[in-house]
Amino acid sequence: MAVIEINGLQKSYRTHKALDSVTLTVERGEIFGILGPNGAGKTTVVECASGLRKPDGGTLRVLGMDPRTRRHELLQRIGAQLQEAALPDAIKVGEALRMYASFYDKPADWRALMQEWGLAEKKRARFAGLSGGWKQRLFIALALVGNPEVVFLDELTTGLDPAARRLTWGLIRDMRDRGVTVVLVTHFMDEAEALCDRIAVIDQGRVVHEGSPGELIDRSHAGSLEDAYFTLIERTV
């Protein structure tokens, strides 16, 4: 069953066409990767699908709902870790988790999430004093605090140390195994190859390739997703 259906999605910022016509489908319970060069439109797709930006055209359904008209209902059932998220400097880790949990009708146990993400030792630390990687961990926990059915993770592992990155991979697989659908934007090809069931490569506001990592590798006669990516992108520019 499709949980995200995007058809001919368009979005312009003033005169710049960020999304030309994006069409893609994400099935329930999969880890769906979105890859593509800087400025390709990946974050814009995620922001439109999570109700944070209004597209100019095309159709969009997430869990059967149009984010343009049923935003509030949708926000109760999705989670998002966004590329440029921020919190007030003075808020403490524990307070942020408790506050986010209060936004949801059926929240997860925020204390358990804090433990799971290794944040318990930082419970009383203020946001401004956290290192980049600790901020990332907090944003991941915040994305999950509403017990979401779909999670959008935009460059989740950027800034994490290698151990935290591997830990995060395990937790993303756990999410999928619990039936959560994960949309993962990443620039790390090893990460996409290891985690994603299917991938869409976006370039200049369009999906230019779609398939499982294995299919993309076979299609380009490459040895790895990284090699495949360069071959495929080179062909389209």
Ligand X SMILES: Nc1ncnc2c1ncn2[C@@H]1O[C@H](COP(=O)(O)OP(=O)(O)OP(=O)(O)O)[C@@H](O)[C@H]1O
In eight-state DSSP terms, residue 46 is H
CA atoms within 13 A on the CB side of 217: 13
From 61-69, 78-86, 102-110, 175-183, span contacting Mg ion (CB under 5 A): 78-86
By the rule CB under 6 A, 33 interacts with ligand X:
no
From 32-40, 93-101, 110-118, 229-237, span contacting ligand X (CB under 6 A): 32-40
Binding at 18: pick from ligand X, Mg ion, none (beta carbon under 5-8 Å per type)? ligand X
Which of 122/165 has CB closer to ligand X?
165
DSSP string over 147-201? --SEEEEESTTTT--HHHHHHHHHHHHHHHHTT-EEEEE-S-HHHHHHH-SEEEE
Find all residues with CB under 8 Å of 211, minimum gap 6, and list them: 198, 199, 219
Out of 24, 26, 41, 175, name the contact with ligand X by CB under 6 A: 41
Q: Which amino acid is at 157?
A: T
Tokens of 49: 């699908």
Nearest approach in angstroms of CB 43 to Mg ion is 3
The number of residues that bind ligand X (CB under 6 A) is 12
From 40-48, 74-82, 142-150, 193-201, span contacting ligand X (CB under 6 A): 40-48
Binding at 44: pick from ligand X, Mg ion, none (beta carbon under 5-8 Å per type)? ligand X
* Closest to 94 in 3D by CA, of 133, 122, 56, 58: 122
By the rule CB under 5 A, 43 interacts with Mg ion:
yes
CA–CA–CA angle 73, 18, 143 (5° rounding): 35
Residues from 42 through 101 that contact ligand X (CB under 6 A): 42-44, 83
Interacting residues with ligand X (CB under 6 A): 13, 16, 18, 36, 38-44, 83
